[in-house]
């Protein structure tokens, strides 16, 4: 007979659900995971990995072409079919056998089907044939069901079979003309990728390009996209969309412009996968984001944990941070918390404690893989001021750093360091430029470690690396002691 009672039941086998289940099993509990599509989730098949595979070849080509000797060795153009083929490998050809093997090896029971919350501590799983099974959790149910793309209610848009991030990540051919609606991270990365793959790309960015980034970083990406031939329509939005008999999509914008394209990508944000999760059975509204407390227990409308605190939510679905690495960080914290509570051990949920996901508020790193790349962690200057911090922000021209000028001819980039003037620690860092992604972790450590500025002077960057920008930023700020 199939076992149906486990210490922990996790709904959603994306990167976050997998890590929660693994963590509780490592802590000595039993775990089941419920998945309605592919084990590995959005990130593995339709988000992080395939989109970065779409971007990587063009980035490598740009790097080579920025050097006269190496550039002379490049005699051909990017091969889109080879790029798409390598992307297919990174998406495991949309098969999850490898991840299922990993679950088995980790001692996690997999139930394929859609999970719905039932009465206290139960999850009903409905498989593809309509069969159902009810799982019971002794200690906790964790919702890690992620998000889906939002398609805004623009007249005609839903009828033209628009691409969402899923189609952009998994397309088997490059369209001749691609219209991108949305100037956020998905829109900017996919405009970069498809433009390099040969599409004529038009972007509609209602709130400007990458509005959450430092303005100098967004501006450099906008300039670069334009230089690549991408047409940007900023601060306007589509008001009507239709596809004609020849298959061409017509997008009418609020400013009176009419665009034409072969495909239209909608990249206007995400909604939580909670519409059919049985939230009504625990007193919550279907379709809502799941609000959580400091240990990621789901809160009811009264701000009190649902039931006696048996329901948790981690990853995108709790709306804290929509990034894989941050969701996996939450997974480690929530997994350890569930084990601690199950074994009646102390829970350390004080800031930076083992069971608190404090970095979600203060030290979230992100790399946007545009050309140039934007790497940031913590606050932007505007974000810090909005949070009420007394800050000073200093900037430095990255092209003036010896390591950067060596890295590529005509290297263009910029960095900013946001300092909390009351505590003399770095609370934000942004760098934009070619190949800056791998620079980021030093800043993450400085912010999460709250390293005093005086001590940062003793963290000497090697010469001649791009990391010397740290020294230049400190010199621009000036010594405090």
Across-strand partners of 124?
A: 116, 134
Residue 449 CB: number of other CB atoms within 10 A? 13
Q: x/- string (CB under 6 A) for ligand FAD, residues 312-351?
A: ---xxx----xxxx-x------------------------
The set of residues, in sequence order, having a beta carbon less than 8 Å from that of 416 and lying 6+ positions away, is 214, 216, 380, 381, 393, 394, 395, 396, 428, 429, 430, 431, 473
Per rule CB under 6 A, is residue 184 in the interface with ligand NAD? Answer: yes
Question: Of how many residues is the chain composed?
Answer: 481
Tell me which of ligand FAD, ligand NAD, none is bound by residue 368, counting a contact when its beta carbon lies within the kind-specific cut-off of 5 to 8 angstroms: ligand NAD
Long-range contacts made by residues 241-249, C-beta under 8 angstroms, separation at least 24? 241/154, 241/155, 241/156, 241/157, 241/159, 241/160, 241/162, 242/156, 242/159, 242/160, 243/159, 243/160, 243/161, 249/160, 249/179
As a whole number of angstroms, the distance between CA 367 and CA 60 comes to: 17
Which tokens is 402 given?
Answer: 């010896």
**Residue 185 marked as a ligand binder:** yes
Q: Phi first, then psi: what are they for 252, rounded to 5°?
A: -95, 130
Site track 94-123 with ligand FAD (rule: CB under 6 A), x = hit: --------------------xx--------
- Does the annotation place 96 within a ligand binding site? no
- How many residues bind to ligand FAD according to rule CB under 6 A? 37
Q: Which is nearer to ligand FAD, 370 or 380 (CB)?
A: 370
Q: Which of 20, 125, 180, 186 is the binder for ligand NAD (CB under 6 A)?
A: 186
CB closer to ligand FAD, 42 vs 349: 42
193 binds ligand FAD (CB under 6 A): no
> What residues contact 422, with CB distance under 8 A and at least 6 apart?
389, 390
- C-alpha separations of 150 from 132, 190, 233, 254, 270 in Å: 29, 16, 20, 20, 5
> Residue 269, annotated ligand binder?
yes
Is residue 11 a contact residue for ligand FAD (CB under 6 A)?
yes
- By CB under 6 A, what part of segment 234-263 binds ligand NAD? 237-238
**Paired tokens of 3:** 């076992």
Taking CB positions, which residue lies at the least distance from ligand NAD?
Answer: 184
CB of 154 to ligand NAD, least distance (A): 6
Out of ligand NAD, ligand FAD, none, what residue 202 binds, judged by CB under 5 to 8 A for its kind, is none
Nearer to ligand NAD, 206 or 414 (CB): 206
**What does 14 bind: ligand NAD, ligand FAD, none (CB cut-off 5 to 8 Å by kind)?**
ligand FAD
Question: Which residue from 415, 405, 393, 369 is spatially nearest to 477, judged by alpha carbons?
Answer: 393
Q: Is 97 in the site for ligand NAD (CB under 6 A)?
A: no
Give 56-123 as a 3 state SS string: HHHHHHHHHHCCHHHHHCCCCCCCHHHHHHHHHHHCHHHCCHHHHHHHHHHCCEEEECEEEECCCCEE
Residue 189 assigned as binding residue: yes
CB 433 → ligand FAD: shortest distance, Å?
18
Residue 377 binds ligand NAD, judged by CB under 6 A:
no
By CB under 6 A, is residue 269 in contact with ligand NAD? yes
Distance of alpha carbon 409 from alpha carbon 241, whole angstroms: 43
Q: In angstroms, rounded to a whole number, what is the distance separating the alpha carbons of residues 407 and 109?
A: 48
Q: Is position 330 an interface residue for ligand NAD (rule: CB under 6 A)?
A: no
Which of ligand FAD, ligand NAD, none binds 315 (CB below 5-8 Å, type-dependent)?
ligand FAD
Residues lying near ligand NAD in the complex (CB under 6 A):
152, 181-187, 189, 204, 206-207, 211, 237-238, 267-270, 322-323, 366-369
Residues lying near ligand FAD in the complex (CB under 6 A):
11-17, 34-37, 41-43, 47-48, 51-52, 114-115, 144-147, 165, 169, 186, 273, 277, 315-317, 322-325, 327
Which residues are annotated binding-site positions for FAD? Answer: 52, 115, 316
Which residues are annotated binding-site positions for NAD(+)? Answer: 182-189, 269
């Amino acid at each position: 007979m199939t076992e149906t009672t486990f210490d922990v039941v996790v709904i959603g086998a994306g990167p976050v659900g997998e890590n929660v289940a693994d963590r509780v099993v490592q802590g000595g509990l039993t775990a089941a995971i419920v998945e309605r599509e592919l084990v590995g989730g959005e990130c593995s098949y339709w988000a992080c990995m395939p989109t970065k595979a779409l971007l990587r070849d063009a980035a490598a080509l740009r790097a080579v072409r920025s050097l006269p000797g190496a550039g002379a060795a490049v005699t051909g153009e990017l091969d889109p079919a080879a790029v798409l083929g390598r992307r297919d490998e990174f998406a495991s050809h949309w098969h999850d056998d490898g991840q299922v093997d990993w679950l088995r090896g980790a001692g996690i029971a997999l139930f394929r089907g859609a999970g719905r919350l039932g009465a206290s501590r139960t999850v009903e799983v409905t498989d593809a044939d309509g069969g159902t099974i009810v799982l019971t959790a002794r200690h906790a149910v964790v919702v890690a069901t992620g998000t889906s793309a939002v398609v805004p209610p623009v007249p005609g848009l839903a009828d033209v079979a628009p691409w969402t991030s899923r189609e952009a990540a998994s397309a088997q051919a490059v369209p001749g003309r691609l219209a991108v609606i949305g100037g956020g991270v998905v829109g900017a990365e996919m405009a970069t990728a498809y433009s390099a793959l040969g599409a004529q790309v038009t972007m509609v960015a209602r709130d400007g390009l990458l509005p959450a980034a430092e303005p100098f970083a967004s501006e450099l990406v906008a300039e670069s996209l334009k230089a690549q031939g991408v047409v940007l329509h900023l601060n306007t939005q589509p008001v009507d969309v239709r596809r004609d008999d020849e298959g061409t999509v017509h997008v009418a914008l609020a400013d009176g412009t009419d665009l034409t394209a072969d495909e239209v990508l909608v990249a206007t944000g995400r909604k939580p996968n909670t519409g059919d999760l049985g939230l009504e059975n625990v007193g919550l509204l279907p379709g809502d984001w799941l609000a959580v407390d400091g240990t990621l227990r789901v809160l009811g409308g009264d701000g009190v944990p649902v039931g006696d605190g048996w329901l948790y939510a981690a990853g995108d679905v709790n709306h804290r941070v929509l990034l894989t690495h941050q969701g996996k960080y939450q997974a480690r914290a929530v997994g350890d918390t569930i084990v601690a509570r199950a074994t009646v051990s102390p829970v350390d949920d004080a800031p930076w404690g083992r069971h608190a996901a404090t970095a979600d508020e203060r030290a979230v790193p992100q790399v946007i893989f545009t050309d140039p790349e934007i790497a940031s962690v913590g606050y932007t200057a505007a974000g810090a001021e909005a949070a009420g911090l007394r800050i000073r922000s200093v900037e430095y021209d990255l092209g003036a750093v010896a390591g950067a000028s060596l890295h590529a001819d005509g290297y263009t980039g910029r960095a900013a360091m946001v300092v909390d003037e009351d505590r003399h620690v770095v609370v934000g860092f942004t760098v934009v430029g070619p190949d800056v992604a791998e620079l980021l972790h030093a800043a993450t450590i400085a912010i999460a470690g709250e390293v005093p500025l005086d001590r940062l002077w003793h963290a000497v960057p090697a010469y001649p690396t791009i990391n010397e920008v740290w020294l230049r930023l400190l010199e621009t700020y000036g010594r405090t002691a």
